[in-house]
Structure 1
């Protein structure tokens, strides 16, 4: 399967967050979200992982930066989405969920 790089924010549907994940200190993966005016439903989580990084102020601590999910949607495509724990700028402070890649069965050109 080919993947297409996207890197665009998605809009989670209200009331569809995974409450069980939030009890573990993880973001609540939205079960539905909108991207480019189309709604998608998460049918299956294929893989989940975390990304950490060093403190940005010079201390030796490591901090959790992103939660990644490879999902299969009910509409067909596999997508890689992530939750950014600390937005990079004030301009993007409300954009915490991002679509990273979209898979397709056709080769990427």
Structure 2
């Protein structure tokens, strides 16, 4: 497995967002997203985890900063995507990011 660093904003396809996750207080993982003119279909979630950090205002509390997902696309590509709880840029819509992509994918994956 060789991961290629991407770090690019992705655009979730709104009608494919998982509302059940949102009801649990998590971001709604999109079933599809757009990147570089392609629409990528998520075939399955391989792993999910959270990145936490301290409060920026001095309290001792810890907050979830990012929700990470390792996913397998229907094309066979393995990708790591994440959602920032608070957008870094002025464009609040840029909350979902493609972090890495492994074009070798999963053994036995269809390309």
Q: Give the TM-score taking structure 2 as reference length.
A: 0.90
RMSD value, Cα: 1.3
Q: Which residue of 2 aligns with 1:31?
A: 31
Q: Aligned ranges for residues 61-100 of structure 1 at < 5 Å?
A: 61-90=61-90, 92-100=91-99
SS in 1 for 2:3: strand
Give the Cα–Cα distance (whole angstroms) in 1 for the partners of residues 39 and 15 of structure 2: 14
Q: Which residue of 1 aligns with 2:108?
A: none
Q: Give 1:89 deviation, angstroms.
A: 2.9
Q: Say if 2:34 is the partner of 1:15.
A: no
Equivalent residue pairs, number = 105
For structure 2, the 5+ residue unaligned runs are 106-111
Q: Give 1:57 deviation, angstroms.
A: 1.3
For structure 1, the 5+ residue unaligned runs are none
Give the Cα–Cα distance (whole angstroms) in 2 for the partners of residues 100 and 13 of structure 1: 18
| Deviations, residues 47-76 of structure 1 (Å, cap 9, x unaligned) | 000011001111111111000000000012
Q: Give 1:105 deviation, angstroms.
A: 2.0
- Structure 1 runs (4+) deviating above 4 angstroms are none
SS in 2 for 1:59: coil
